[in-house]
Structure 1
């Protein structure tokens, strides 16, 4: 039988699994939704076992599909949402729900870290999303859980553990915890000790390392009839970059999912970025990346659909946005629905429509949301250029890449070529590529990208439209300064967040 690998992505809204051949052909893709629990505003949690059950359901569907009739699975790897915290007891069972990357409860812990170590720790800003802040929140607010914690993991590491019975974490995800020395590639235990963190670190491995086989029990349950090699994988953004061919200096990715990301590869180990840019290890050996994050990118569009335009699907919303003029007839939207990470690092800021008037209609509102999301992402690109990075093209993936209108809008605002992938599977593809590399199907990353990554179209920027957008962008940047104190006071007096 012919061989395939599986790429598993433990996402925020769903677990997705794809089956890929040696030549990069995706035979089938399936997904299973995951429930997020928001018991209190600002809290965001998921049950770790929901991820594993979702992955198992997807694998079963793939194994029994007609597309895989003449194939056998020989390897798999994983990607997953970064920062989200899983704690296990001494029997390696979850002690509580996972606290997700977009959870904002740990502002007090952020301030504690900043007071001791400054605003930046291990090349990264101190923000509520990072894993260290969540560990400290548990230590201070759930002492019984803390005393019973044997090890901490990130989402895809937990799913991999359930598949293999092997506990470890790889460097791309570990670098997003505020506890990894990215340059020395080891746990920065001296940082942890200052906050009472000592023994709970998992072993570290490389992204393409073989970590074990799917256990016999799980293989039987899933219908896998051969030894399936499991490789470590990576954080979703790093895997998304690999799966988009973004693997070398200055190559840049724009990914719009629940959050929005601008990621640019960086080989300079001494790079010094500020403005709440993140600096993490890539899944590609000896490569890092700098990244800016919009917390509520696609989530802002989902909010619009669910609460303002519930009778429309996303394609219809995009069509309405396309019908509005550039600048949305003088309406600006800031996508701060969950706070903002780059460049402001502010968990208390909230979104706003500025310039709303009686003549505005649904078309204007839809376009202003899409323009606002894109302006937020452009802030990262603008800063990277200011810091000397050359960005002449961007590969776009995620929800924002499903619309040619939005891709052209990105090209015009970013003032750069936007590459559209022929087959876009996001982080799943990067995970599958790591499995293919681990199995020895390809020797080098550059070789596999030539076979797996194909582009469908390149959108060229329009200089006239870019200039028009920049007039709105200047006003967009001013909105944060004008509304920051107002929204903070609103949160305080309403006591709802």
Structure 2
């Protein structure tokens, strides 16, 4: 089985045998375009090329003389939007979840109360990430595109259309759009009325187990796959990450820190938060993922490395060492709590739990005694504090966690693993599973094809686990600092919009992130 994850800055493909062992891996990168304030777009043709090249490379690495390729199953990032003309040609690039240009319309929905009702129907918090707000932005600010648009979809649906000539969206991705009713399991009439979009303009909704065959000749020839190989629709990356670390049982929380981050738990029915702090999206129609995504994970660590530790980054490159490992070694010299230095990691606005695209980052508590070493530890702690506030909101909605599984690029760092356990005051288990969203996609594919009986069979594929126990010596420090962190965030929130407006007014240029 191939599990393929179409992500924000790269597409990854992993070839697994039917015991879940990794046989081959590819990772194809592409840019995230930030040419204007708030923009975060990708080129759909660059992503299509990455998918084609990834599938081609995986096939070259596979030994099909000694085995059969059963299928390809897909994961993708949520909340992407492409407007298409009547011939399904893109009128826009891929407007990603990280794009905040629809902030004005999210604010309006929150202010007039419409947003609360829509959240209760759709399970998607009101935020510029959602297709609901993006469509309102296109309708009002880019009427020329809106009038030409015959269809709308996300990146996975576009890839399936181009490769296989099918026009469909899995229930998992649909449930994160903000225009899908998670109780009726269909497009939400009130959301569509607000945007002016009709069901005829949207893909058909299918189960994540749906199979498609018959790749278009132009791609079948290039990739080299037999045309009868089924492509399985799959789900969104966060839900599949939970599946890929075997966090699908009641009370098992998955914490992920990659470029961004998330805290999620699976339930057997849709759950709505009266305070609107967490999302509720589908894994399948029988399993629902409740949680909160954060914008600011490893990307903030990278910012700190590039802007506060440029010399160390260069030194690490000369010594052929990992610059992140060097920084975590520096952070270890500083005691838990960073001697009272707090960092709010909101460099890219924030989603859960505050859902404020205008949120901004800050150091608080700086004194003359603080050093760059304090600052790097405070950055790492701030990212985990923020994830902990998401867990606190989640506990109110679904109860206290029974166990915590952690995954993502951060999980390579022993310091970060221990920090997570100390701040959460719970044992944290790190599964060995490689590329959890790809594994989750592969497991969905295996279930679709009858190769396994239940999704819970994933436990056979996850591999060894490593559990970190909380250090009681650090409890008192973090128990004292976390409430200050939370109160401070609430107090600063009154000024986030003001400083964000100033920055937008005086913005000089955008950027392209590779």
Q: TM-score, normalised by structure 1?
A: 0.94
Partner of 1:435: 445
| In structure 1, C-alpha distance between the alignment counterparts of 2:272 and 2:109, rounded to whole Å | 22
In the TM superposition, what is the alpha-carbon distance from 1:167 to its structure 2 partner? Answer: 1.1
In the TM superposition, what is the alpha-carbon distance from 1:485 to its structure 2 partner? Answer: 3.5
Structure 1 residue 182 and structure 2 residue 171: aligned? no
| In structure 2, C-alpha distance between the alignment counterparts of 1:68 and 1:316, rounded to whole Å | 42
Partner of 2:91: 95
| In structure 2, C-alpha distance between the alignment counterparts of 1:378 and 1:387, rounded to whole Å | 15
Structure 1 residue 57 and structure 2 residue 67: aligned? no
- Ranges in structure 2 where 5+ consecutive residues have no aligned partner: 314-322, 508-514
Structure 1 residue 19 and structure 2 residue 28: aligned? no
Secondary structure at the aligned position of 1:119 is classed as: helix
1:409-443 superposed Cα distances (whole Å, 9 cap, x missing partner): 11111122211111321211111111122221112
- Flag the structure with higher helix content: 2
Secondary structure at the aligned position of 1:31 is classed as: strand
Partner of 1:119: 116
| In structure 1, C-alpha distance between the alignment counterparts of 2:46 and 2:299, rounded to whole Å | 21
Partner of 2:355: 345
Partner of 1:416: 426
In the TM superposition, what is the alpha-carbon distance from 1:102 to its structure 2 partner? Answer: 1.0
Partner of 2:161: 161
Partner of 1:461: 470
Closer, same or farther in 2 for the Cα pair 1:195/1:487, shift >3 Å? closer
Tell me if the contact between 2:169 and 2:205 (Cα under 8 Å) persists in the aligned partners. yes
Secondary structure at the aligned position of 1:102 is classed as: coil
In the TM superposition, what is the alpha-carbon distance from 1:272 to its structure 2 partner? Answer: 3.6
Tell me if the contact between 1:41 and 1:496 (Cα under 8 Å) persists in the aligned partners. no
Runs of 4+ in 1 over 6 A off after TM superposition: 66-69
| In structure 1, C-alpha distance between the alignment counterparts of 2:238 and 2:484, rounded to whole Å | 30
Secondary structure at the aligned position of 1:282 is classed as: strand
Partner of 1:302: 302
Partner of 1:139: 139
Structure 1 residue 452 and structure 2 residue 461: aligned? yes
Q: TM-score, normalised by structure 2?
A: 0.91
Partner of 2:318: none
Partner of 1:330: 340
Partner of 2:228: 227
In the TM superposition, what is the alpha-carbon distance from 1:57 to its structure 2 partner? Answer: 1.5
Tell me if the contact between 1:213 and 1:230 (Cα under 8 Å) persists in the aligned partners. no
| In structure 1, C-alpha distance between the alignment counterparts of 2:331 and 2:106, rounded to whole Å | 38
Partner of 2:253: 252
Tell me if the contact between 2:132 and 2:195 (Cα under 8 Å) persists in the aligned partners. no
Tell me if the contact between 1:12 and 1:258 (Cα under 8 Å) persists in the aligned partners. no
Partner of 1:191: 191
Structure 1 residue 426 and structure 2 residue 426: aligned? no
| In structure 2, C-alpha distance between the alignment counterparts of 1:206 and 1:405, rounded to whole Å | 40
Structure 1 residue 477 and structure 2 residue 486: aligned? yes
| In structure 2, C-alpha distance between the alignment counterparts of 1:192 and 1:116, rounded to whole Å | 17
| In structure 1, C-alpha distance between the alignment counterparts of 2:272 and 2:195, rounded to whole Å | 27
Tell me if the contact between 1:259 and 1:298 (Cα under 8 Å) persists in the aligned partners. yes
In the TM superposition, what is the alpha-carbon distance from 1:111 to its structure 2 partner? Answer: 3.2
1:264-287 superposed Cα distances (whole Å, 9 cap, x missing partner): 11224354442421111123x411
- Ranges in structure 1 where 5+ consecutive residues have no aligned partner: none
Partner of 1:35: 31
Tell me if the contact between 1:169 and 1:202 (Cα under 8 Å) persists in the aligned partners. yes
Equivalent residue in structure 1 for 2:81, among 82, 85, 93: 85
In the TM superposition, what is the alpha-carbon distance from 1:241 to its structure 2 partner? Answer: 1.0
Report the more deviating stretch, 268-277 or 44-53: 268-277
Closer, same or farther in 2 for the Cα pair 1:27/1:270, shift >3 Å? closer
Partner of 2:317: none
In the TM superposition, what is the alpha-carbon distance from 1:138 to its structure 2 partner? Answer: 1.0
Report the more deviating stretch, 115-124 or 10-19: 115-124
1:11-38 superposed Cα distances (whole Å, 9 cap, x missing partner): 1121111101111011111101120111
Closer, same or farther in 2 for the Cα pair 1:229/1:251, shift >3 Å? same
Partner of 1:354: 364
In the TM superposition, what is the alpha-carbon distance from 1:245 to its structure 2 partner? Answer: 1.0
Partner of 1:148: 148
After superposition, where does 1:61-72 map in structure 2 within 5 Å? 61-65=57-61, 70-72=66-68
